[in-house]
Amino acid sequence: MSSTQSLGTATEVVKAATRRPSRIGSMIRRPLPAMGAVLLLILISVSIGAPWITAQDPFDMNVVDRLQPPNETYFFGTDAFGRDIFTRTLYGGRVSLIIGVSVAVTSTVIGLIIGIIAGYFRMADAILMRIMDGLMAIPGILLAIGLMSLTRASIWVVIIAITIPEVPRVVRLVRSVVLTVREQVYIQAAGAIGTRFPRLMLKHILPNTFAPLIVQATYIAASAVLIESYLSFLGVGTPPEIPSWGNIIAEGRLYVQIAFWNILFPSIFLALMVLSINILGDGLRDMLDPRLARRI
Amino acid sequence: MGNYVARRIFATIPVMGVVAIIVFLMLRLSPGDPAAIIAGDHATSDEIAEIREHLGLDRPLLEQFIRWLGQLVSGDFGVSIYMEQPVLGLILERVEPTLALAISTMIFAIALAVPLGVIAAWRAGSWVDQTIMALSVLAFSVPVFLIGYGLVMGFSLALELLPVQGFVSISEDPIGFLQHILLPTVALGLVYTALLARITRATMLETLNEDYIRTARAKGLAEPRVLILHALKNASVPIVTTIGTGLALLIGGVVVTESVFAVPGIGRLTIDAVLQRDYPVIQGVILVIAGVYVLVNLAIDLTYSLLDPRIRY
């Protein structure tokens, strides 16, 4: 945030100073974001390093060893085809990482472009925001499910299907920042001395959107990982031959009563990844955007 | 007043219009021939041509849209390709379990989240607040199916207290209804509870800093009275607004929860439709759900404008 924005009115400053609870809270909360970051780093490392951590192949079927409970050979047990759940869970993290990062980056970039256009050009604003309102009226998972039905499933289709419902939220955020900033005196001053639009946008307006966007992108990544698992769980997500966490769980649900480890371990990894990203997002929000932190 | 109500009602028309355009264009703009998508992988070219003609896909886009919109307005959502029944009828048949689950979840979540949020804000920074907030981040992150299957393993399989899955209509067997709806409600409700608890805490924190709260305390009012009558009442607008907008999150979760507990609701209908590429059903479900979402949020806005004369957007 720029300094002009964080200053606020005198009463706000006084209020913030007399706000008793948040200071104690933030001190206790401080170690949490670091823990989230470390946890996420561990999950990323074991996913990328999967081939070096486990000697097994995620697709290898040992029908003799089907539905084995966790033991020394198979740490997390085996599934109905005798595949090693531990290995599949590690490899599943790769799918989630690809989807989380891709959706976060794509929706942020698209949302940024549309949001700037909407925020700066009054003519485009009305039309673009009506489209965004319409998109937001359809629950995200439902829209993603609908989009998934349009073509043959692949990881890229999953990414697009999850990205589209996330875009309006980014657009709204960027638009609101642009609308606030464009009224600031320094923007008018820059305009008055003849700064051209591209430079005005890149140098003076765009940087204001970075802090809230980074926070938003983090939350989007967490939600994308979760939605991918929901889509795959429902059988309309990542192609079933790819070992994503949602797919492992979708296959395991048939045997939940006799082999619960089929869904337990991938679910725990999934929850830990989403949790670590969310905690990281909260930490980034408190750090980069204290005004937002007070509101939520 | 009347002016605001009229404007607010009028504002839903473009939103629903855009939803209709999105739903209409989804199939038409998808890569590949919509008729071939509907017909499936093993269709012959004759079958594809038949579907194309049947749906009017060979006409100009605008003509197709206007004809389709005209049908929607007169309540005709098309006919299911797979089940060969009117889409609206199929949706109405499945609406009861979904509605029951959504309503019970809302009651559960509001009953749990508002007190938790109030206590967290009241004791902001304390270990109680920290615990409630940590649990809410956790509830945001744990997938619905992990909570769902965990509850089933514990309460249904190990303790044998509750049925594993399914749905019983409340009109047939009220006790059975409650037994079947309890676990899905908790599984689905925790995310929604977390969302509402967070917003309750945040708005309460702001309200508790107001001068009139200090006045209320200074004149010796009992703390529960200050919290509920003075603070919560004034903090209620953002909370109820979030109940409305959070409905999108809830509906998404309903689809997954119905799948975990084998509830024959609209979620099941949607997934079956996607697997069978039954496009009229998918379009119908999206339109109806978006319509409900827009109407509920309209109702919330209007109620507040009636109750609180300060609200005029």
Average pLDDT over every residue of A86-105: 92
Q: What is the mean pLDDT of chain B?
A: 86
B38 against A280, higher pLDDT: A280
At A7-27, the pLDDT tens digits run 444 445 445 444 444 444 554
More confidently predicted of B109 and A3:
B109
- Nearest by CB to residue B15, choosing from A137, A140, A148, is A137
Which residues on B lie below 8 Å from A146 (Cβ)?
23, 26, 274, 282-283, 286
Q: Is the pLDDT of residue A76 over 50?
A: yes
- The secondary structure of chain B in percent helix, strand, coil, rounded to multiples of 5, reads 75, 0, 20
CA distance A127 to chain B (A): 10
The whole-angstrom separation of Cα A279 and Cα A273 is 10
Residue B135 pLDDT greater than 50, yes or no:
yes
Looking at the predicted structure, is the pLDDT value of residue B306 above 80?
A: no
Collect all residues of chain A within an 8 Å Cβ-Cβ radius of residue B279: 149
Residues 207-236 of A with CB under 8 A from B: 222, 226-227, 229-230, 233-236
A239 pLDDT above the threshold of 70: yes
- In sequence order, the 6+-apart residues with CB closer than 8 A to the CB of A270 are A96, A225, A226, A229, A245, A246, A249, B143, B146
Q: Which of A269-283, B34-48, B222-236 reaches the highest mean pLDDT?
A: A269-283
pLDDT per residue as tens digits for the range A177-202: 888 888 888 888 888 888 888 888 88
Contacts of B209 in chain A (CB under 8 A): 15, 19
B37 vs chain A: nearest CA distance in angstroms?
7
Cβ distance A148 to B274 less than 8 Å, yes or no, reads yes
With CA atoms as reference, the chain A residue closest to B125 would be: A25
Task: Note the pLDDT of residue A4.
Answer: 38
Tell me the chain B residues in contact with residue A274 when contact means C-beta distances shorter than 8 Å. 140-143
Give whichever of B28-42, B188-202, B206-220 has the largest mean pLDDT. Answer: B188-202
| B46-74 mean pLDDT | 82
Give dist(CA B30, CA B156) in Å, integer: 43
Facing residues of B86 across strands? B79
Q: Name the β-bridge partners of A78.
A: A84
Whether residue A17 lies within 8 A of chain B, CB to CB, comes out as no
Q: How confident is the model over A137-178, as pLDDT tens digits?
A: 999 999 999 998 888 889 999 999 999 999 999 999 999 988
Could you report the per-residue pLDDT of A42-73, keeping only the tens digit for each?
999 988 887 888 777 777 777 777 777 787 77
pLDDT at A120 over 60: yes
Phi-psi region of B78 (alpha: psi -120 to 50; beta: other; left: phi over 0): left
Q: Cα B303 vs. chain centroid, distance in angstroms? A: 19
| pLDDT tens, position by position, B142-169 | 999 899 988 888 888 788 788 877 888 8
Chain A and chain B share a number of CB contacts under 8 A equal to 166
A142/B275 CB distance under 8 A: no
Query: How confident is the model at residue A110, as a pLDDT?
Result: 96
| Residue range B91-100: mean pLDDT, rounded | 91
Q: Comparing A164-173, B78-87, B121-130, which segment has the lowest mean pLDDT?
A: B78-87
pLDDT at A129: 92
Q: In chain A, which residues have their Cβ closer than 8 Å to the Cβ of B153?
A: 256, 260
Listed range (A110-124, A142-156, B43-57, B222-236) with the worst mean pLDDT: B43-57
Quote the mean pLDDT of chain A: 82
Q: What is the pLDDT of residue A3?
A: 39
Q: How confident is the model at residue B79 (pLDDT cuts 50, 70, 90)?
A: confident
Structure confidence at residue A13 (pLDDT): 46
Over residues B235-239, the mean pLDDT reads 85
What is the DSSP annotation of B214-257?
HHHHHTT--HHHIIIIIIIHHHHHHHHHHHHHTHHHHHHHHHHH
- The mean pLDDT of A108-126, rounded to a whole number, is 90
Which is more confidently placed, B37 or B273? Answer: B273
Would the CA dihedral through B192, B138, B140, B302 be positive or negative?
positive
pLDDT at A232 exceeding the cut of 80: yes
Which of helix, strand or coil describes residue A289? coil
* pTM to 2 decimal places: 0.87
**Mean of pLDDT values over B250-261:** 90
User: Where residue B293 falls among pLDDT bands split at 50, 70, 90?
Assistant: very high
Residue B220 has pLDDT above 70, yes or no: yes
| Nearest C-alpha neighbor of A250 from the set A266, A267, A236, A234 | A234
* pLDDT > 70? residue B32: no
Spatial CA neighbour of A197 closest among A88, A256, A92, A116 = A116
